[in-house]
Structure 1
Amino acid sequence: MRIVHLGLGNFARAHQFWYTEHAPDAGDWGVAAFTGRRPDAADQLRGQDGLYSLITRGEDREDIEVVSAISALHASAEHDAFLAHLAHPDVRVVTTTVTEAGYLRGADGGLHLGDAAVAADLAAVSHDRGAAARTVPVRLAAGLDARRRAGAGSLTVVPCDNLSHNGAVLARVVLDAAEHIDPALAEWIGGSVSWVTSMVDRITPATTDQDRADVAAARGYVDASPVSTEPFSEWVLAGAFPGGRPDWEAAGALVVDDVAPFEERKLRMLNGAHSLMAYGASVRGHRTVAEAIADPVVRSWVEEWWAATARHLTVPTDDYRAALLERFSNARIQHLLAQIAADGSQKLPVRVIPVVRAELEARSAGADGALRPVAAWVQHLRGHGAPVQDAGLPESLVTPASDLEDAVTTVLRHLAPDLAAERAVVDRVTTLAREIA
């Protein structure tokens, strides 16, 4: 194994593992994969020697391939195995898909030291370098400490979450953790670890019983954990790999000097539209992205959002917008709005609020397009549409019993305190929220 991955889920299996599988030097690279919060993915795949079926569903065809990139499987709780892998000199790359919430950033962008789980992990690892750590920043710091003590050499970390400048963001929280554990560790990380920023894109729904039945019918074998995905895939990376990496470019990845223009377009146009539909379209009774975009009202909301975002992007958007409509309309991809809706408190600040600020600053007549995702999230938190699943949300921030205007003010204060102080913004978000519900 030369790659360690944190956050074994469907997206990693349809994306990073797929690129590794299709690299011409794939035989030289294997992935030791660790689950996130739940161990069942590892349990299911162990019985299949790490093999799984990837179902690529287009509008008019369906392809099934077996992916063999996983060489070792571990539950998140297997911390000793994680430390052992990071301490091995053969390991050269760590990739992560832990969602935005897993970075555990505070208001200043650094590690949220006031978080109870972070504080407990820091205390435990500072006392005993082999102590188990549950939070991603402290866990990575502990793994890098094991590597430093083993003299295993340099390493590259590649976060693959939908977060702007994710390499720098992850570096900061891990370095903050390392500084608390041992300043010498932070110094070693600064000289020995490369942090790559990446932009990822491939719609990957949750696995269903129908997926399992489709594999059995088409291939004649039982796969407990297949993954379905769309034909489109994109991976853009920027940064150094001092210890090497698979030839991902041969599989279609793009290595560039600056990910930011690609990242910003994707975060705003794809992910922002997803959030808008997850909250607004689920209120209208829709279950999937394809159902949502087929609704003329929802499509008009999405078109308004795209118009607002395009005004503040530096790369062409027309072809990308057309591709998004085609992808969203692919009814063979059952991309659940409830799945997209999770962890909105981490997603809206990076996907939506920058567009809101840009539109308000420009005094754009189309500001409703930027404000509507916020209004939809307010109604989501008030109990409309998809169920609320948000690890980073303060308890009882907004409840179904909350007065609408009070809820809008509270949500804006949470997302962007300065916007909550603007009466016109509060009034407009309140009006849009009434229209949605």
Structure 2
Amino acid sequence: MPATEAAVKLTRAALQTRTGERAPAAPVRIVHIGLGAFARAHQAWYTTQVDDENAWGIAAFTGRSAAIADELAPQDGLFTLVERSADGDRTTLVRSIVEVVDGADVGRLMQLLAAPTTAVITMTVTESGYRLRSDGTPDTADPLVVADIAALRAVLNGAAADADAPPLTTALGRLVRALEARRQADAGPIAVVPCDNMPGNGAYVRRGVIALARGALPELGEWISQHVSFVSTSVDRITPRTTPDDVAAVATLTGWADSSPVVTEPFTDWVLSGRFPAGRPDWERAGARFVPDVEPYERRKLWLLNGAHSLLAYTGLLRGHRTVADAIGDDESRAEVERLWDEAVRHLPADLGLNRYRTALLKRFENARIEHHLAQIAPEALTKLRVRIAPVARAERAAGRAASATATPIAAWIALVLRRFELIDAQCDAITAASAAADPLRALLALVDEGLAADAVYLQAVRDVIPRLA
């Protein structure tokens, strides 16, 4: 765009005026819960890539903050996606989001799920946002879950109207209420597609949703078990937070005044396993893979990419690094990542192209133009360490090996906690209590995995790492 030409506010009407191209909003066929940068760089991007007939509009509900609705709604859901490689930027106008809604608007969620034309519900609410125990049951020690269970019982059993009951605040509480609206409307089957980094995420969320529903209204739980498909997924695309500089760069590159662009890497991966009883977009045309069993791909991604991210985040913060690219450029950190991967790949199928995947990961981590901040990766450490690191440690110990490489990210997190480094975690009360124990290191390790904390060899391996991180 010439320097003298002002950027134009991005809307569907402006797009038609400026380019002569009609950009009508597609009908809502997909509901997304937990709108953030990753969902826009992933599910929304895939849908835009393949929706040639403009048939699959997404109604996107915000997560903990409604701020994104204030940014995207005035743009009619349109936004610019920037694929940032080491060689330059490539932009795509993503058009698949046609409605942006405050997540607290459960009434609108109910309306959309009661419509037979709504076929898919995708979710990105973070691992901790599901508020489930490790076995997939609702965490009844969580006051928000307890409050939602009480509200659901009152509303679904006719003791209170929705308007008179306390507002539902958890993602699954809101989903259960909307699924009851679908059941009452006899709107047919639907697919729920969780896209957060949890092993067996489809089955995991299914257990939680059905348990929550049965606890409020048994017949709803039974209906969900028969009419709602839960699809397991493995998702992969590094997507850092958007900065003011990114907003300015998009205006220069495209001529659009876009208040909410998304910057991501060129690499993307989406593996899915499960049924879509009401249909879906042809996401495979944009590279998505549909497989009988997603579990090996989940483990590869969780243990190699996400595990390395956690290691780099906690050791990197201790060493004064700011981004993933900074941390992987540290020879010691890079060697720690390679050792972690050496342990992990012993427990992955050889036909997953593990050497190529490792080489590609290093290249992705080294892309300094993607400023993936360690502080963005660090929150919710307990939930992440439990699924990214602890399974490899258990597998290595079961094989009779020390699992010393997996001890490094856990020890680094413990060191940060004991140094009172501010880390956001939904389980902060448990972390604070463990920090005050007679043996805080053992108590904190037990929060990650009680079995590993009871293993004298592994406990000593974690202790041995701490001085090296000082």
TM range (shorter): over 0.9
Q: What amino acid is aligned across from residue 260 of structure 1 in structure 2?
A: E
The SS at the match of 2:271 is strand
2:203 is the alignment partner of 1:168? yes
Helix, strand or coil at the partner of 2:393: helix
Counterpart residue identity of residue 458, structure 2 = V
* Mapped partners of 1:12, 1:188: distance in 2: 28
Equivalent in 90, 93, 98 of residue 63 of structure 1? 90
Residue deviations 1:10-42, cap 9 Å, x none? 000000000000014461000000111000001
- The partner residue of 2:117 within 73, 87, 90 is 90
The code of the aligned residue for 1:49 comes to D
**Structure 2 counterparts to residues 26-425 of structure 1, below 5 A:** 27-129=54-156, 130=162, 131=165, 132-314=167-349, 315-364=352-401, 367-383=403-419, 387-397=422-432, 406-425=439-458
Shift, 1:85, TM fit: 1.0
Bigger Rg, structure 1 or 2? 2
Q: In the TM superposition, what is the alpha-carbon distance from 1:384 to its structure 2 partner?
A: 6.4
Give how far 1:395 is off.
4.5
Over the aligned positions, Cα root-mean-square deviation in angstroms equals 1.6
Deviations 1:231-258 (A, max 9, x none): 0000000111110000101111101111
**Residue type of the alignment partner of 1:346:** T
* DSSP-derived class of the 1:82 partner: helix
Partners of 2:236 and 2:216 lie apart in 1 by 35
Query: Given that residues 106 and 178 in structure 2 are in contact (C-alpha distance below 8 angstroms), is that contact kept between their aligned partners in structure 1?
Result: no
Contact 1:205 1:334 in 2 (8 A): yes
AA paired with 1:340? Answer: I
- Judge conservation of contact 1:343–1:393 (CA < 8 Å) in 2: no
Aligned amino acid, residue 69 of structure 1:
S
SS in 2 for 1:28: coil
Distance 1:287 1:341 in 2: 11
Provide, for residues 309-340 of structure 1, a one-character-per-residue CA deviation record: whole Å limited to 9, x for no partner. 01111133100000000000001100011111
- Tell me how far apart the structure 2 counterparts of residues 282 and 336 of structure 1 sit (CA, whole Å): 10
TM-score (norm 1): 0.96
Give me the whole-angstrom Cα distance separating, in 2, the residues matched to 1:418 and 1:2.
45
Structure 2 distance, partners of 1:44, 1:333, is 23
Label 1:228 to 1:339 Cα distance change in 2 as closer, same or farther (>3 A): same
Moved more, 405-414 or 338-347: 405-414
Given that 2:431 and 2:444 are in contact with CA atoms closer than 8 Å, whether structure 1 keeps it comes out as: no
- Check 1:17–1:220 CA distance in 2 against 1; reply closer, same or farther (3 A cut): same
Distance 2:361 2:431 in 1: 35
Letter in 1 for 2:453: A
Where structure 1 has 5 or more consecutive residues not aligned to the other structure, the ranges are none
Instruction: Measure, in 1, the Cα distance between the counterparts of 2:192 and 2:130.
Output: 14
Q: Equivalents in 2 of 1:143, 1:251: separation in Å?
A: 30
Deviation, 1:96, is: 0.1
Equivalent position SS for 1:72: strand
SS in 2 for 1:224: coil
- Counterpart CA distance in 1 for 2:219 and 2:460 is 52
SS in 2 for 1:105: coil
Structure 1 CA distance, aligned partners of 2:306 and 2:419? Answer: 22
> Which secondary structure state, in structure 1, belongs to the residue aligned with residue 385 of structure 2?
helix
Q: What is the CA–CA distance in structure 2 between the aligned matches of 1:379 and 1:177, rounded to whole Å?
A: 37
Q: In structure 2, what is the Cα distance between the partners aligned to 1:298 and 1:261? A: 26
CA distance in 1, matches of 2:29, 2:207: 24
Number of the residue aligned with 2:48: 21
Query: Aligned residues, how many?
Result: 433
Deviates more, 1:115-124 or 1:269-278: 115-124
- Counterpart amino acid of residue 84 in structure 1: Q
Quick one: percent identity of the two aligned structures? 46
- Cα deviations by residue, 1:55-108 (Å, 9 ceiling, x for unpaired): 100111210121111111111111111111111111010000011101212254
Please state whether the residue corresponding to 2:75 is helix, strand or coil.
coil
Q: Which one of 427, 431, 436 corresponds to residue 460 of structure 2?
A: 427
Q: Distance in 1 between matches of 2:214 and 2:184?
A: 16
Matches of 1:398 and 1:297, distance apart in 2 = 32
**Separation in 1 of the partners of 2:453 and 2:172?**
31
Unaligned runs of 5+ in 2: 1-27, 157-161
Q: 1:342 & 1:281 partners in 2: Cα distance?
A: 14
Instruction: Indicate conservation of the 8 Å contact 1:102/1:136, yes or no.
Output: yes
Matched with 1:6 is 33
